[in-house]
Structure 1
Amino acid sequence: MQKAQFGMIGLGTMGRNLVLNMADHGFVVCGYDRNIDQQKRLLEEGKDKPVQATATMQQFVNSLETPRRIMMLVPAGKIVDAVIDEIKPFLQAGDILIDGGNSHYTDTDKRIARLESTGIHFTGMGVSGGEDGARFGPSMMPGGNADGYIELKPILEKIAAQTDEGACVAFIGNGSAGHYTKMVHNGIEYAIMQLISEVYALLKNAAGCNNDELHKIFTEWNNGALQSFLVEITAKIFLQPDNVDASKRLIDAILDRAAQKGTGLWTSVSALELHVPSAAIDEAVAARDLSSYKKEREIIDSYTSETTAINTTDKKQLILNLHDALYFGMAVSYIQGLHLLQTASDAYKYEINIAEVVRIWKGGCIIRSLMLNDIRKAYVSNSSLKNLLLDKDFYNLLEQKRNALVNSLKTGMDNKIAMPVLSSSLNYFDMFSTGRLGSNLIQAQRDFFGAHTYERIDKEGNFHTDWN
């Protein structure tokens, strides 16, 4: 057989779709999976394409041209290490081994260090876009070292999503930069999904919109400034009939208990460790946790009197307000995520180009949106931008939408509709745009009970007062 140009370990939906994507672009690809049925499925779906499959790991490695380019798409954790242990004896210096799953960035750092003496290039690569993205063009975030990426670039650029600014893939940075960036991507994703659910709750329960109206509203929004993958699929969800009772819509039959796999939590933990405020992401994680207490929520709900919708007589105005409120919240989600990414890049010496990250998020990935064009312009014009709110034009854009968010929040509070991410977005914006906060009182308290000292506004140094 002709030597394959790329190898894939793990032939589940994502792995198999990436193999077929590569084959569509003319690359010879070999797949390996311990599950023989997965091997057969790949060969069946890839018939008439340059696709191969092997029965053993050694045969798999021998089927690849050198330097070998191999991606693992297996569950994060111990399985990744087990695969590395199995394949390592068959590899040589210069080969590239990619972890394409959602591994924690600290695990990626350990694996890079472990393989460093072998000369094998270990690449932690975030992949976003879901099943369709893998098949027809994902956004990919590879990190590790630049030498390893040189061998991968011709293939990855061909299979990536394409936008007006090129392929949605780039070398992200050193070490675990790729997996860290994907983690932040997922944190932003958590926040935006929660924002959309809060807006949905207001439209449904305060404005009284039915599913057809909701479909129309989100479709119109997706044709304007809110154009994004998540708004697009939200519009489609409202039309999906129930597969049990076709006279109803599926959305009304789905239990209101949101699950999670942990990447949002990882983002919040890292942000806390680096002292970067990421309240939108934190609140989104907490909201999923709170939603899981379904039985308790129903018991407490029975204690309260039924709420009557108020302050929604101007339905059209509420919809306009919610449009701008959602834009505001989405922007804050990006702002917080990118601030964290820049801070982590400095702390961990990733050397991430934020403008490039925004560019490759413009297509293929779950958080792609029209808004990213303006965000990218801000970072291109000022590569040292630490926080997007420091860009005066972007700040002014959000300032113009602030009242719409405030009015939306008032409606939500009047109708007892929880809006954790919308409200935290306003607090974040207001605190960041306030030159003098009430935090001086906290420092006085700390010095009072613990002699932690404080700084003064009129002279340099640290001071302590005998408050008693």
Structure 2
Amino acid sequence: MQLGVIGLGRMGRIVVDRVLDAGHDVVAFDLDAEATAAAAEAGAEPADSVADLYDRLVSGSTEAARIWLMVPAGDAVDATLDELEPHLGPDDVVVDGGNSYFEDSVRRAEATDAAYLDCGTSGGPAGADLGFSLMVGGREWAYEELTPVFDAVATGPDGHDRMGPAGSGHYVKMVHNGVEYALMQAYGEGFELLHRGRYDLDLEAVARTWNNGAVIRSWLLELCEEAFREEGNDLGDVADRVEGGSTGTWTVREALEQEVPVPLIYQALAERFDSRGERFGRRLASRLRYGFGRHEVPRREE
């Protein structure tokens, strides 16, 4: 299969590499010419523009285009679609692999002539080796058509599924992120009690021990162990500030609309917005965001 990839940042480049490794062809484009050149060195066919990418996908064949967008959520997705729209037809498939708001995905699916798949993507940079978890919404025939690509980008056939109609993929990813907030909050609170409690504990050792057979073992707990190993038992100069919050806000807003109580997710979101005082738990949550997504870690000034 031939896939066009637009957006060659950290995550987009992983998509390119995993699709190439699976034996498929990739046409790649990014506004950053150096990123496009780097993808070409890895084996992708470089494109000079969005229009050029589409032309290369359909040139010399009767096949429709299959295009994966990995650009920042929001205006960048709409701008890219605006460039693509004059070229797209009903047999084309466009995948939005970013962290878009699900209602935006519904709107885009209704507005474009192509089959639009909203693809919630989880796994962070670790997906380069392990593969991602992909939550896909949109037309069933388009999902089936892209299955070989999803197999390549995900951890395998069990790492992706069609959640339902347009918007459902990003909806499931939104709730996934809300759950992630609550889990990070729980680990942060637990380790804060251990840090400030009765005993002088080696928190890296605690995390390692818990991760070997304990009920609460998880990848996030592995990242706790990594954080204490690399930053120290007191998390060094990691600042008491956790960035992000958009997907958690979306989750809480949807819960209010559906009258579903989500107190743990709400409290975790509130902690992100609370900048008062010094909290060890928030510092650990900030470092965990680096662990799974390589998000920048705010540091305290000397």
TM-score clears 0.5: yes
In the alignment, the residues of structure 2 paired with residue 43 and residue 136 of structure 1 have an alpha-carbon distance, to the nearest angstrom, of 23
Q: Pick from 243, 253, 272: which aligns with 1:269?
A: 253
Residue matched to 1:38: 35
Aligned-pair distance for 1:144?
0.9
**1:220 maps onto 2:214 in alignment:** no
Query: Aligned residues: percent identity?
Result: 35
- Structure 1's unaligned 5+ residue stretches are 242-247, 302-365, 367-468
**1:253 maps onto 2:250 in alignment:** no
Q: Conserved in 2, the CA contact under 8 Å of 1:218 and 1:231?
A: yes
Please give the residue correspondences for 1:139-288 in structure 2 after superposition, counting only pairs within 5 Å: 139-162=133-156, 166-210=157-201, 213-224=202-213, 225-241=215-231, 251-288=235-272
TM-score normalised by L of structure 2: 0.86
Residue matched to 2:72: 75
In the alignment, the residues of structure 1 paired with residue 233 and residue 191 of structure 2 have an alpha-carbon distance, to the nearest angstrom, of 15
In the alignment, the residues of structure 1 paired with residue 158 and residue 173 of structure 2 have an alpha-carbon distance, to the nearest angstrom, of 17
Residue matched to 1:26: 23
In the alignment, the residues of structure 2 paired with residue 155 and residue 207 of structure 1 have an alpha-carbon distance, to the nearest angstrom, of 52
Q: Pick from 261, 267, 289: which aligns with 2:273?
A: 289
In the alignment, the residues of structure 1 paired with residue 141 and residue 128 of structure 2 have an alpha-carbon distance, to the nearest angstrom, of 24
Please give the residue correspondences for 1:23-422 in structure 2 after superposition, counting only pairs within 5 Å: 23-44=20-41, 46=42, 49=43, 51-65=44-58, 66-115=63-112, 118=113, 120-162=114-156, 166-210=157-201, 213-224=202-213, 225-241=215-231, 251-290=235-274, 292-293=275-276, 297=277
Aligned-pair distance for 1:134?
4.4
Q: Conserved in 2, the CA contact under 8 Å of 1:18 and 1:135?
A: no
Residue-pair matches, total: 275
Q: Conserved in 2, the CA contact under 8 Å of 1:6 and 1:68?
A: yes
**Per-residue displacement from partner, 1:14-66 (whole Å, max 9, x unpaired)?**
1011100111111111111121111112223x1xx4x2111122221122252
Moved over 3 A (4+): 207-210
Q: Conserved in 2, the CA contact under 8 Å of 1:136 and 1:159?
A: no
Q: Conserved in 2, the CA contact under 8 Å of 1:144 and 1:174?
A: yes
In the alignment, the residues of structure 1 paired with residue 273 and residue 145 of structure 2 have an alpha-carbon distance, to the nearest angstrom, of 42
In the alignment, the residues of structure 1 paired with residue 33 and residue 6 of structure 2 have an alpha-carbon distance, to the nearest angstrom, of 13
Q: Secondary structure at the match of 1:181?
A: helix
TM-score normalised by L of structure 1: 0.56
In the alignment, the residues of structure 2 paired with residue 265 and residue 208 of structure 1 have an alpha-carbon distance, to the nearest angstrom, of 37
- Structure 2's unaligned 5+ residue stretches are 280-291, 293-302
C-alpha RMSD of the superposition: 1.8
In the alignment, the residues of structure 2 paired with residue 158 and residue 41 of structure 1 have an alpha-carbon distance, to the nearest angstrom, of 20
The 3 A distance-change label for structure 1 pair 128 and 134 is: farther
Pair member with larger Rg = 1
In the alignment, the residues of structure 2 paired with residue 285 and residue 209 of structure 1 have an alpha-carbon distance, to the nearest angstrom, of 30
